[in-house]
Amino acid sequence: DYTVYSAPVTDIKDWKCEGVIYSGTQDPNASERRKYLYAPDVVRGNDGRYYLYYSLAGFGGKGGFEGPISVAVCDTPAGKYEYYGDVKKPDGSKFTRMIPFDPAVINDDGIIRMYYGWALPVRKPKSRLEAAIITKIMTKNVLQKTRKEDT
């Protein structure tokens, strides 16, 4: 469960507990292995409601960040959030490019922008030669392709 503490901007020493606002188990993507929110972020939407963006993982990062980035919504920043859905690509499919995690979301004059961390699922190489080959393949086929897609 996720608890929020708040303080008025006029007196940041006056903290109070707002109570539990969300549980990772409310998300249909949650499992016993992946039920913790990592680096969640909240943004006020253009409709005046508050949107909680997060990715699920296991305790201490165990269980992986297989995506997607999910969203919960509430009428107040410290209220009870309800699962809203997953971040989607323009074609309607779940946004699971690479392994997305740690969303940071801003409302830029009415345009909602999301920044996120990402990783690639790579097992530990068995030798230096294999590590060099993987590095070359990743640089040529994944990282350069990603740079071209992002421009």
What pLDDT, in 10s, does the model give residues 31-52?
887 778 878 899 999 999 999 9
pLDDT score for 138: 64
**Model confidence, pTM:** 0.74
To the nearest whole percent, how much of the chain has pLDDT over 90? 40
Nearest to 42 by CA among 108, 118, 104: 104
Which residues make beta-bridge pairs with 53?
A: 41, 71
Beta carbons within 10 angstroms of residue 62's beta carbon:
10
| CATH class belonging to 2-119 | mainly beta
Q: Which residue ranges does the chain devote to CATH 2.115.10.20?
A: 2-119
pLDDT score for 64: 64
pLDDT score for 66: 66
pLDDT score for 147: 47
The model's pLDDT over 84-135, given as tens digits with 9 standing for 90+, comes to 999 988 898 887 766 677 899 999 999 999 988 876 666 677 788 877 776 7
Both tokens assigned to 72: 């919960």
To the nearest whole percent, how much of the chain has pLDDT over 70? 76
Please give the DSSP secondary-structure letter assigned to residue 92.
Answer: S
CB distance 81 to 51 below 8 Å: no
Report how far residue 25's alpha carbon sits from residue 27's, in angstroms, rounded to the nearest whole number: 5
| Dihedrals phi, psi of 133, to nearest 5 degrees | -65, -45
Examine residue 68 and say whether the peptide bond preceding it is cis (omega within 30 degrees of 0): yes
Considering only residues 141 and 34, tell me which one the structure prediction assigns the higher pLDDT: 34
